[in-house]
Amino acid sequence: MEKLQISELYSLEQYHRIRPDFRSKVMAHKRNRKVSLGEYATLYFEDTLTMKYQVQEMLRVERIFEEEGIVEELETYNPLIPDGSNLKATFMLEYADIYQRRQELGKLVGVEDKVWARVGDFDKVFGIANEDLERSTQEKTSSVHFMRFEFTDEMVAALKQGSDLAFGVDHEHCKKSVNPVPQATREALLADFN
């Protein structure tokens, strides 16, 4: 998948005009790019379009229009675009209640290393989490983790030939899986290998 270039971004003025329509397009695109692992854990799979939206929103909110600042945003978000042999996701632990969140994140230390993907009957592929910086401590995990699921050529070929795709988490305080993911999700994620 191609990384974003400055030339593909909208100016702040252009983005202001098209934002409602662009946002609707991105939200529809994201619908089949998420996998819920229980009530509180969700994988949101990223691609060029989701990252373009993220960059545009950051530029808008921070009023960034100088090339140096735009390049910095691209350097931050381009690594979350799949490279053809992997899926990249934002793993979120979402608790609305602040006290519950604090308590649960304390129980889930290391959860980011227990999230997996599986193609058909192949072995589980555990996500490689937080390559940019450490997000957890010995006392608690973060509510947001960035991860990469790296697949072999054989796994990608099997996916393209129709094998099931599953995701799960094997932490002692969070054991959930979706096996297989819905067909619409599988098809949306399959496009990331092109």
> Using one digit for the tens of pLDDT, what is the confidence trace for 169-182?
999 999 999 999 99
Partners of residue 148 on adjacent β-strands: 88, 128
Structure tokens at 113: 């290393």
Structure tokens at 41: 């854990």
Enumerate long-range contacts of 130-137, CB under 8 Å, 24 or more apart: 131/79, 132/79, 136/109, 136/110, 136/112, 137/109
- Rounded to the nearest integer, the mean pLDDT of the chain is 95
Distance CA 159, CA 146 (A): 23
pLDDT tens digit sequence for 7-35: 999 999 999 999 999 999 999 999 999 99
Give the domain ranges of the chain.
1-31+48-80, 32-47+82-194
| Arithmetic mean of pLDDT, 166-194 | 95
Distance CA 179, CA 122 (A): 13
Question: Given this model, what pLDDT does residue 67 score?
Answer: 93
Distance CA 108, CA 26 (A): 31
Distance CA 75, CA 106 (A): 31
- Nearest to 86, CA basis, from 193, 187, 14: 193
Distance CA 110, CA 115 (A): 10
Q: Helix 67-77 crosses helix 48-62 at what angle (to 10 degrees)?
A: 140
- Residue carrying the six token digits 């350097």: 75
- Find out whether 36 and 178 touch, Cβ atoms under 8 Å: yes
| Arithmetic mean of pLDDT, 95-118 | 95
CATH classification for the domain delimited by 32-47+82-194, as one of 1.10.10, 3.30.1360, 2.60.40, 2.60.120: 2.60.40
**Residue 130 binned pLDDT confidence (cut-offs 50, 70, 90):** confident
Distance CA 97, CA 74 (A): 33
